[in-house]
Structure 1
Amino acid sequence: MTAPVLEMRSIGKTFPGVKALSDVTLNVAPGEVHAICGENGAGKSTLMKVLSGVHPHGSYDGEILFQGAPCAFKDIGASEARGIVIIHQELALVPYLSIAENIFLGNEHARHGIISWNETLKHAAVLLKRVGLAEHPGTRVADIGVGKQQLVEIAKALAKEVKLLILDEPTAALNDGDSAQLLLLIKELKAQGITSIIISHKLNEIAEVADSVTILRDGRTIETLDVRDGATTEDRIIRGMVGRDLDHRFPERTPYEGDPEARPALEIRDWTVHHPIDQQRKVVDNVSIQVRRGEIVGIAGLMGAGRTELAMSVFGRSYGRDISGTVLKDGREIRTRTVPEAVAHGIAYVTEDRKQYGLNLIDTIGRNITLSALPKVARRGIVDEHEETRVAESYRRSMNIKAPTVFEQVGRLSGGNQQKVVLSKWIFAGPDVLLLDEPTRGIDVGAKYEIYTVIDRLAAQGKAVVFISSELPELLGMCDRVYTMAAGRLTGEIPRADATQEVLMRHMTRNTR
């Protein structure tokens, strides 16, 4: 039997008040694609940070062997010198530098302190060809999409003569086309002898590219499965992740049975939004939608369809220029020119980018939950900290936010728990209408189910919910109706009974010009 290229033995890692890893073991064979699965908070990213030196030797228990030799990495530079390169979920590229400059940042082609740009551009072109990216090496990273940026990160890793490539949620922010291209590249790298570790919540992708999968739960190794035998199904992986069979991916709910002629809680008429820079381009073009109390209405569309732009522009004109159209709440026209105006009218927006726009990552759970409605926990303009703690603690329990106290820093929480904090923040504001933009992005199946349950509960309470998602099964499992968009225009309105993935995709790809 071939000796493992990587062995992690009895790894333990503790943060203040939290045991993140306990006696974790991981063995990776040379040349394989090894997946790591687990619920949010299971310890996947922490384990990879231990391996890559982000958490330095001495800050954790256990030992690491790479290519048979013990490792004691003091930082990420030490692991990269051995050929172990990690690509984090949040890409570490400088947007205003060129692709070539990013690839060799900190690893420049230089003689006597002077960079050789000819050599840099020539070598960058070779690496870009290797990862299948046709962009010129001199192109600014800011001028290419997220999918291409992910390929630049891999080219950057190849420039460091990578032997073990670690990809943390590499397709979380990619559309289907970019995801497929990235998975194909991982297979090609495997053929070139590069070993990969991939962390992903997308079990269909694991089934496509992985040779083995190690499942973590509550900071411990549960089991390692051989995916190549064909017997390892998505349901089998889920059972290992959550510790039980997940009979249904979505909670049972009674579809909306209200009066179809009832006055909508939210109605958007003839809504048009222009791009903030290219003012000639319409990113939302004459869109009209409506949602009633107790109803969950989905919005489906491919990348660039205008879904997020629609939601953000309605919510206080947070995106776009030259916005026109009408917003009605319970049949009465309202103004939502600013975020405070939108909130005052009972509209909440849960952003797709919780880390940048949804949370203050360096503040506590309690402060984040009450931010959207501070007057509720204030007396004479001063926040009552006891009341704030009481409110936050009630949401921590009811939303099952996994943290020892509400004084825990939000940035230390897993993605699923961060999303629960975002939802708690807006539920505390007491909205009538919730605009949910990719509310389960980057979240494992167990946490997704919990969030679906919360959304169902809100609809049952009479809230009107707009549910934007790139995952068609999610829309089919949660929504009473689904609107489809393409190139900024509305292309269809499909009731639950008629909605299938094929029908939605047909409308999502309709030519609107």
Structure 2
Amino acid sequence: MSEYILEMQEIVKEFPGVKALDNVNLKVKRGEIHALVGENGAGKSTLMKVLSGVYPYGKYTGQILINGVEQRFNTIKDSEAAGVGIIYQELTLVKQMNICENIFLGSEFEKFGVIDWNRAMAETNRLIKEVGLSSGPDTRIVNLGIGKQQLVEIAKALSKNIKILILDEPTAALNETDSENLLSIIKALKKEGITCIYISHKLKEVKAIADTITILRDGRTIESYPNNELVDQSKIITGMVGRELKQLFPRQEHTPGDVVLEVKNWNVYNPELPDRKAIDNVSFNARKGEILGVAGLMGSGRTELMMSLFGAYGINKTGEIIIDNELVKVKEPRDAIEKGLCYLSEDRKKTGLVLMMDIKENITLSNLNKISNIMGINENEEIKAANEYVKALKIKTPSIEQKVKNLSGGNQQKVVIAKWLMAKPKVLVLDEPTRGIDVGAKFEIYNIMNKLADQGVSIIMISSELPEVLGMSDRILVMHEGKISTELDWKDADQETIMYYATGQQPRTLKELEEV
């Protein structure tokens, strides 16, 4: 029998215009914990979706071998039948059901055409004992903390007799105690012969738990090696980010002016987990005419921070927001917009645009008061405003009455920018401003950002792309687990330095960084 329980060979997965996986190879030994690491967008989750049958055979090329036998999965149930189980970062439990119902949902035991609850409860008791869960099988999910919900997900996977367990960022939403407990459970599963593929940005955890580490970068396998004393976090980081900057950025020297936005001791709690802080005592400022970059890994709190300042996220918020030396109270987005703070969402299709509306309607949607009177919307003013921004931002369209859903990604993004420019922002937050758009459109977005900075607008840019952060920012804030771990001048920053702070490391000197 081969020492490898899983072999993925020359896997290629393409989406329109994007090669997400480019001849990826992965070998996983039987009974090991195999860590899969890489930057956001490296292809980790896509590769696991291929393995778990989310992307069926025929939607990718390459081979999957389990115990030396080629597998061609068409559904998730096919992969489960072959012994593969996956637990996503976003849990898939039905919160109003109990533990037993969730574990066997879709796989119920039947006796004479009726669900055999006695058997299900007995099996649930066995499974929750195996994963170290103290709650009873009839406990509803809604009454469990996120750490215990993770254990229910593992129990659910084990109920299907899986031999390969994939965990995608399993500790992203957990506190330190729950994280340590989960790692202990994974080590116990290893002793029982379960092979684990562990995806995480938390390199401390990777070092603590992995037998083997594989690094993906830009959809390619970079290297794979045993996790031993010769492998430190700096080696992993270098593998994750060690690429030349291929994208050209139209960097301009900006002369920042006075502080326009100041945030003091800002705390925000997660609305879904009211006892968990999403943002922990954050303080920072943004100046007129600068581009302030915000970097950090998935789950670091970048988006939650800016959405909470905009009034669109969080509960039990404390701290101060000061705009142009005025202490402001933001209860909802309308309050923020009126004070000059605008937020461009990372998901333009879901929360940035109304796809069935036309360009004209989308541009003016947040600024109807500027084109309305007692009689309603002044259509002539609406047309005039829309044409002005279409021309200024070079939005490619045959008409301002074109449905936004029919535009390219880059032109859709320009429509969202136009909407916020019409609001005359003092501070404009751009969350992943170039996600999903082509190189030419990216360059145009960067030029728009530079022009706005020259006009005195304070730009706050959140980005998962480190070359973008380094290429466009005047200053850079790096976030880790809801806190700002450091502030860097762009001249003092590089990808490895940012990644150190983003993963919770604290290098003390530049000399120390050079040594690692």
Residue 336 of structure 1 pairs with residue 336 of structure 2: no
Name the CA distance, whole Å, in 1 between partners of 2:47 and 2:480. Answer: 30
**What is the match of residue 101 of structure 2?**
101
Residue 315 of structure 1 pairs with residue 321 of structure 2: no
Q: CA deviation at 1:79?
A: 0.7
Per-residue CA deviations over 1:363-401 (Å, capped at 9, x if unaligned) read 79x99xx87987699744657895597469xxxxxxxxx
Q: Is the 8 A contact 1:65 1:71 kept in 2?
A: yes
**What is the match of residue 470 of structure 1?**
481
Task: From the superposition, tell whether residues 13 and 266 of structure 1 become closer, same or farther in structure 2 (CA, over 3 Å).
Answer: closer
Amino acid at match of 2:310: F
Amino acid at match of 1:202: K
**What is the match of residue 44 of structure 1?**
44
Q: Is the 8 A contact 1:84 1:163 kept in 2?
A: yes
Per-residue CA deviations over 1:175-201 (Å, capped at 9, x if unaligned) read 222222222211111111100111222
Matching of residues 472-491 of structure 1 within 5 Å: 475-477=485-487
SS of 2:4 mapped into structure 1? coil
Task: From the superposition, tell whether residues 19 and 470 of structure 1 become closer, same or farther in structure 2 (CA, over 3 Å).
Answer: closer
Amino acid at match of 2:486: L
Per-residue CA deviations over 1:36-85 (Å, capped at 9, x if unaligned) read 12222222222111111111112221211101212111111011011101
**What is the match of residue 237 of structure 1?**
236
Matching of residues 15-414 of structure 1 within 5 Å: 15-228=15-228, 230-244=229-243, 265-266=260-261, 291=285, 293=287, 315-316=310-311, 319-320=314-315, 328-332=322-326, 334=328, 336-348=330-342, 359=351, 379-380=383-384, 390=394, 406=410
Per-residue CA deviations over 1:292-347 (Å, capped at 9, x if unaligned) read 7479999xxxx9xx9999976653475558x9998653333545343122123122
Task: From the superposition, tell whether residues 72 and 408 of structure 1 become closer, same or farther in structure 2 (CA, over 3 Å).
Answer: farther
SS of 2:120 mapped into structure 1? helix
TM-score (normalised: structure 2): 0.65
Per-residue CA deviations over 1:188-247 (Å, capped at 9, x if unaligned) read 11111100111222222111111111222222222211113x21222212222223599x
Per-residue CA deviations over 1:10-45 (Å, capped at 9, x if unaligned) read 222222222222222211110011111222222222
Q: CA deviation at 1:99?
A: 1.9
Q: Is the 8 A contact 1:267 1:288 kept in 2?
A: no
**What is the match of residue 494 of structure 2?**
none
Q: CA deviation at 1:156?
A: 0.7
**What is the match of residue 484 of structure 1?**
none
Name the CA distance, whole Å, in 1 between partners of 2:318 and 2:215. Answer: 50
Task: From the superposition, tell whether residues 45 and 384 of structure 1 become closer, same or farther in structure 2 (CA, over 3 Å).
Answer: farther
Q: Is the 8 A contact 1:54 1:76 kept in 2?
A: yes
Task: From the superposition, tell whether residues 331 and 31 of structure 1 become closer, same or farther in structure 2 (CA, over 3 Å).
Answer: same
Task: From the superposition, tell whether residues 239 and 120 of structure 1 become closer, same or farther in structure 2 (CA, over 3 Å).
Answer: same
**What is the match of residue 3 of structure 1?**
3
Name the CA distance, whole Å, in 2 between partners of 1:297 and 1:451. Answer: 6
Amino acid at match of 1:470: E
SS of 1:121 mapped into structure 2? helix
TM-score (normalised: structure 1): 0.65
Q: Is the 8 A contact 1:33 1:212 kept in 2?
A: yes
Q: CA deviation at 1:155?
A: 1.0
SS of 2:410 mapped into structure 1? coil
Name the CA distance, whole Å, in 2 between partners of 1:57 and 1:231. Answer: 38
Q: Is the 8 A contact 2:303 2:431 kept in 1?
A: no
Task: From the superposition, tell whether residues 359 and 27 of structure 1 become closer, same or farther in structure 2 (CA, over 3 Å).
Answer: farther
Q: Is the 8 A contact 2:262 2:321 kept in 1?
A: yes
SS of 1:172 mapped into structure 2? coil
Task: From the superposition, tell whether residues 16 and 361 of structure 1 become closer, same or farther in structure 2 (CA, over 3 Å).
Answer: farther
Name the CA distance, whole Å, in 1 between partners of 2:11 and 2:200. Answer: 21
Q: Is the 8 A contact 1:53 1:75 kept in 2?
A: yes
Q: CA RMSD in A?
A: 5.3
Task: From the superposition, tell whether residues 362 and 51 of structure 1 become closer, same or farther in structure 2 (CA, over 3 Å).
Answer: farther
Task: From the superposition, tell whether residues 138 and 297 of structure 1 become closer, same or farther in structure 2 (CA, over 3 Å).
Answer: farther
Range moving further from structure 2, 1-10 or 193-202: 1-10
Structure 2 gaps of 5+ residues are: 246-255, 371-380, 397-407, 414-429, 436-441, 490-504, 507-516
Amino acid at match of 1:10: E
SS of 1:476 mapped into structure 2? strand
Name the CA distance, whole Å, in 2 between partners of 1:51 and 1:374. Answer: 43
Task: From the superposition, tell whether residues 292 and 15 of structure 1 become closer, same or farther in structure 2 (CA, over 3 Å).
Answer: closer
Amino acid at match of 2:234: D
SS of 1:222 mapped into structure 2? strand
Q: Is the 8 A contact 1:348 1:435 kept in 2?
A: no
Range moving further from structure 2, 132-141 or 59-68: 132-141
Q: Is the 8 A contact 1:235 1:245 kept in 2?
A: no
Structure 1 gaps of 5+ residues are: 247-256, 393-403, 410-416, 480-499, 502-513
Task: From the superposition, tell whether residues 183 and 112 of structure 1 become closer, same or farther in structure 2 (CA, over 3 Å).
Answer: same
Q: Is the 8 A contact 1:87 1:167 kept in 2?
A: yes
Aligned positions, number: 423
Amino acid at match of 2:240: M
